[in-house]
Structure 1
């Protein structure tokens, strides 16, 4: 690994990954704790989301208000959220302030107060966010698409289910915290103007005594089916389509990514050109590569009027099948430029890099350098992409429809 990158696993199982970014004055930190939607307790879907909010309501020597004010005084731009595998805590600021904030984040994941008043507020916020999905049909489509496409429990909605959230109690949250907030399989990533030894020493000091309990294995089941219709009273129909692809660790990963970029890489991608520009079928359309650990998929979306919904679905699927006939050199060149541009832009953000190296370590067990990624993209030839597409025809499809009427599924 080059002098720009560093990784170290502590005796308790916590892994530190770092990227030094010369010329930056700021730094960013991402902390991943193995408490995601997939390993929520049985019958308590959404527990990780409530717990992720609750741990921020006072920790260590500070109550909720004191903790918030302390982090604000450090000038931190911060966020948190729950995904499939982890609860994520992230912050960015002048580098010295990020190192200083580690004490508070160590308190948050090791010594939260978990107060009753904070629990009631955290649960109410989760219920409000869940109810708000009804006003965001595009979000609803992707939630249902993941639920019906990914193996269970990876397709669970991390926001939870209403019935499960309503029966969640503070005692259950406290027990859940004791079970899932542990150092083993947690990842802390820093990127920016940092000194590796200083960071390592700081992490050892504040996280070194964190317990290293082993996680519980998950029972993985097949997805519930390949079609879901949710009726809504609306002037619009929202369509979600997914099919399996290779995982990120597969030798054909970059080839598969290039194929998806040709399909939907901006306004010159096939989906946008054929469905929106040429035919005027939909106001929004696109597809992208999506992955979990050990799984890869292509997920697409189209939003259209009810009158054009059937034609939009038919044309969408036709374009997916047409992709297996191959792409041109011009399409591949354009896809490479677009993907490399996004990599260059993310390489200028300490927050993006901290998140990326944490993701890399979780998926691959190592950090990819930006030069490695760029070289891998450059190495892909059009013959490679077309051979891959010939041997990996899209499908079978998972299809989700949110709208007033069901559509005829493609054969």
Structure 2
């Protein structure tokens, strides 16, 4: 899931700079938007979502206010008719430019794919994870179970303190003398930016809410949607704070201290206490204490233990790591850091072919397997006879990796000791 986390970072920057580029039309913003979208696409093949999110949000920003009836628009700010309605031509040109930059930046990957069968090979691989509308509800329920296992305590705790911080710093704002014309232009610019941001945010959240369960419910696949949830929560707090500050400004006309009313303060505490109670309830229901940082160093520790045992071997040594790229990385790193003159080669293996034939008499060959490796019992008898068990180590993957492994199981995930 390392690439999925990096993907979310590039997507966040790509969407942000796309918003800036569409609003301002500045060349630097257009270039950065295309660059970050290209980096997201380089990181994972679904990096094109960066363009899809900014493009669909922009189209909604252009179209919906023009076709929404006035009666409905009065209750839906993002769809309200505006005096600052943008011209379609420049906006579409800006988005087309940033999309072209992203595609040009991604072309080296597409060219390199030709020797592996082109993008059709990638699409065929993705089709294996696609469950479609028929499996949508089951995949959605499984993703919810994964998130419930992780627990809502820290999210609820963070929301609780966000509300407290907002109340603490909710003070009357100072006045900056402006003319009527400058006030109008600032209001129009702010409304335009907020509306575009709202539509892009809606496209990100709603689009991935529908699209994510269309695939096998690996938790890492939901990370872009979880990022949208974080952004939506922050936007709601910002929107709430802006409205509360507006109320405070209005109250300054009739009060001397500019404080919120008792009614507003009471509901603030009701909200905060309810959110915190929800987090505590998640601990009781899941019957486990929350952890700030999960254990993610099991493979590193195992690699160190393996290295100590292999030091006793004499002669050339070949270590084939089967189906465990993380362990291969740590073993190779340990070997690189050790400056002893020992003839040792560490290789990644896709199957048991490295032990299918007898090695030279003066060479030691070790096969390292793990939970992601093919079963030895499925191999031919001569391969089984050629191997003998040397050592075993307990492996406890991180919660994210473990939940990925549980993607196709049913019921609530219950983790056992390794």
- With the shorter chain as reference, the TM-score category is under 0.3
Larger Rg: 2
Relative to the length of structure 1, the TM-score reads 0.26
Flag the structure with higher helix content: 2
Of structures 1 and 2, the one scoring higher in RCO (CA 8 A, sep 6+) is 1
Flag the structure with higher strand content: 1
